[in-house]
Amino acid sequence: MDIEFDQPIFVISVAAELADMHPQTLRQYDRLGIVSPSRAPGKSRRYSQRDVTMLREVQRLSQEGVSLEGIKRVLQLENQVAALQRRVKELTEELARRRQPLDARVFAAGTAGDVVSLARGKRPRPRSQAVVVWRPRTPE
């Protein structure tokens, strides 16, 4: 049985043991907003595997001499970068989806400067001095 990375399943004592910390340290990090676990109906903290991983990262940064405020800022920036990377991926996928129909279209510039969309393989009517702009397909 696989456990989801974000599923809040560990009570504070188990999370503290997994992160090799004292439970009071986890409570302090929660109060400071450094690692904020989910809450069970009885208000007890429930930690996910992601929270435990983050606690280990906090411990590593602390051992390297980074202050708690510095650690909080590092984690905020890492979260911001991850969100921006997800957004870039979404926009890249959207752009790829939008480009596909455009690759199948051809545009012509009429003598009056107007832009006319043409079906592939068709010429503008009536035959004129219009300039046809096309782009060869890229191999897939």
* pLDDT, tens digit (0-9, with 9 covering 90-100), for 89-134: 999 998 887 776 555 566 677 667 777 676 666 666 665 555 556 6
Average pLDDT rounded to a whole number, residues 46-52: 94
Token pair of 92 as six digits: 């890249």
- Residues 70, 112 within the same domain: no
- Residues 64, 121 within the same domain: no
The residue range of the domain holding 58 is 12-100
Residues 89 and 94: their CA atoms lie apart, in Å, by 9
Residue closest to 23 by CA, chosen among 108, 110, 31: 31
Whether 2 is in a domain gets the answer no
Residue 71 burial (10 A CB sphere; 0-12, 13-18, 19+)? buried
- Residues 16, 68 within the same domain: yes
DSSP reduced 3-state for 106: strand
DSSP reduced 3-state for 45: strand
- Residues 36, 62 within the same domain: yes
- Residues 78, 113 within the same domain: no
- Residues 47, 109 within the same domain: no
Mean pLDDT, the chain, whole residue set: 83
CB atoms under 10 Å from CB of 26, counted, come to 24
pLDDT of residue 120: 66
Whether 28 is in a domain gets the answer yes
- Which amino acid is located at 16 in the chain? A
Domain count, the chain: 2
- Residues 116, 63 within the same domain: no
Residues 96 and 91: their CA atoms lie apart, in Å, by 9
- Residues 81, 111 within the same domain: no
- Residues 57, 96 within the same domain: yes
Residues 58 and 35: their CA atoms lie apart, in Å, by 9
